[in-house]
Amino acid sequence: MPIDLMAGTTALGAATESIQEPTILLFDSGLGGLTVFEQVRRARPDARYLYVADDAAFPYGRLPEPILIERVIAVMERLIGKHAPDLVVVACNTASTLVLPSLRERFTSSFVGVVPPIKPAAAATRSSLISLLATPGTVARAYTHDLIATYASACNVTLVGAPNLANFAEAELAGSAVDDEAVSREIAGCFVTADDGRRTDVVCLACTHYPLLLPRFELLAPWPVTWIDPAPAIAKRVLHLLGASPPEPDRMSKPVRAIFTGGEGVSTALRHSLASRGLREVAIEAMPLSGIAS
Ligand code: DGL
């Protein structure tokens, strides 16, 4: 059975008492982790949040595994040293399915990861035809294949590694519309019809960028399916580890900072988009990919 990558570790067990105003660091290759941030913040509105986009190394989906491990550890070393979070949420399937065991070995901090929602997909399907829409990296992971063997062996799982969707989600957040045809091409492989007429009825959104494009997917899908976003389950996991929010009137008022490791794409339009999601401070902490993981 694959190890539970979503579980917290060493520093935190299940919370018996709520940690007051914890510092939660959410980390992704880019802005996909915002879909997780939204759910976690709803669960713990009193927390201090730091959102880190490792945009200097984006997209992770194309990085060879040893490079990605080295990169995430190097970036985490810097971030944990500087910000001392109570909890780190690795809001990226491409990183979580590979790097969490190394992070837990290297750091005493608690980590929660995001992994493809195969288990709920297997529970939800009626046709037994599931598709997993992810980055090429996540689709290739041994961890993903173990999850399928453990939780969906009775289903027919189609793996769709989308080379461009994470980029499309970033573009849309920054205010550049991506045309329907390009999005359709990326999701087309998810829709399968079996010889006996059964059709795919559940699609796992196994990259945190993809829920940003969900309204487009729903519109462009050749037939309606259930799209499974793991973010609400991650928020539950965070609550399990940190405990519930104390009731206060003005709980969401803390400014949320977005940190970029590159910052090339930080335009005025993107700043507006971030501000509308509650991230009003933007900082660049430069960590070029070449300097760390060449
Ligand atoms: N948001 C990341 C994930 O959940 C992937 C995007 C990338 O390729 O960097 O997998």
Q: Is the pLDDT of residue 252 over 70?
A: no
pLDDT of residue 268: 96
Instruction: Tell me what pLDDT residue 155 has.
Output: 98
Q: How far is the CA of 200 from the centre of ligand 1 (A)?
A: 24
Q: Does the structure show a pLDDT above 50 at 13? A: yes
Average pLDDT in the 213-228 region?
98
Instruction: List pLDDT tens digits, range 48-107.
Output: 999 999 999 999 999 999 999 999 999 999 999 999 999 999 999 999 999 999 999 999
Q: Which of 155, 190, 204, 207 is catalytic?
A: 207
Tell me how far the alpha carbon of residue 143 lies from the centroid of ligand 1, in angstroms.
16
Centre of ligand 1 to C-alpha 20, Å, is: 31
Mean pLDDT of 31-44: 96
Q: Which pLDDT value is given to residue 249?
A: 47
pLDDT at 56: 97
Instruction: Map out the domains of the chain as residue ranges.
Output: 23-114+232-292, 118-229
CA dihedral 235, 122, 161, 277 (to 10 degrees): -20
- How much is the pLDDT for 254? 83
The pLDDT of residue 141 is: 98
CATH tag for 118-229 (out of 3.40.50.620, 3.40.50.300, 3.40.640.10, 3.40.50.1860): 3.40.50.1860
The residue among 62 and 250 whose pLDDT is bigger is: 62
Residue-averaged pLDDT of the chain: 92
Q: Which of 135, 172, 229 to mutate to test the pocket of ligand 1 (most atoms within 8 A of CB)?
A: 135
Per the annotation, the verdict on 190 as an active-site residue is no
Residue 39 in contact with ligand 1 by CB distance below 6 A: no
**pLDDT of 9 above 80:** no
**35: confidence class by pLDDT, cuts 50, 70, 90:** very high
CB neighbours of 108 closer than 8 A, spacing ≥ 6?
A: 10, 11
Q: Which atom of ligand 1 is nearest to the CA of 114?
A: 4
Q: In what order do the strands lie in the sheet with 256-260?
A: 111-113, 87-90, 23-28, 48-53, 256-260, 279-284
Q: Kindly tell me if the per-residue pLDDT of 5 is higher than 50.
A: no
Q: How far is the CA of 281 from the centre of ligand 1 (A)?
A: 23
- For residue 292, the model assigns a pLDDT of 45
Instruction: Using pLDDT thresholds of 50, 70 and 90, give the confidence band for residue 20.
Output: confident
Residue entry with tokens 């990259």: 207
CA proximity to 151, closest of 114, 191, 124, 113: 124
Quick check: CB of 60 below 6 Å from ligand 1? yes
Are the C-beta atoms of 211 and 33 separated by less than 8 Å? no
Atom nearest to 208 CA in ligand 1:
4
Mean local confidence (pLDDT), 144-171: 98
What is the fold of 23-114+232-292?
A: Rossmann fold (3.40.50)
Q: Tell me: the pLDDT tens digits for 129-145?
A: 999 999 999 999 999 99
Mean pLDDT (whole number) for 237-248: 88
Stretch 106-115: mean pLDDT: 96
If you measure from the C-alpha of residue 139 to the centroid of ligand 1, how many angstroms do you get, rounded to a whole number?
A: 11
Same topology between domain 23-114+232-292 and domain 118-229: yes
**What is the pLDDT, as a whole number, of residue 190?**
98
Ligand 1: which of 36, 133, 168, 208 to mutate, judged by most atoms within 8 Å of the beta carbon? 208
Of 210, 258, 240, the C-alpha closest to 55 is 258
Ligand 1 pocket residue status of 61, Cβ below 6 Å: yes
The ligand 1 atom nearest the CA atom of 94: 10
Residue 215 scores a pLDDT above 80 = yes
Q: How far is CA 168 from CA 71, 186, 191, in A?
A: 23, 10, 20
Is 207 a residue of the active site? yes
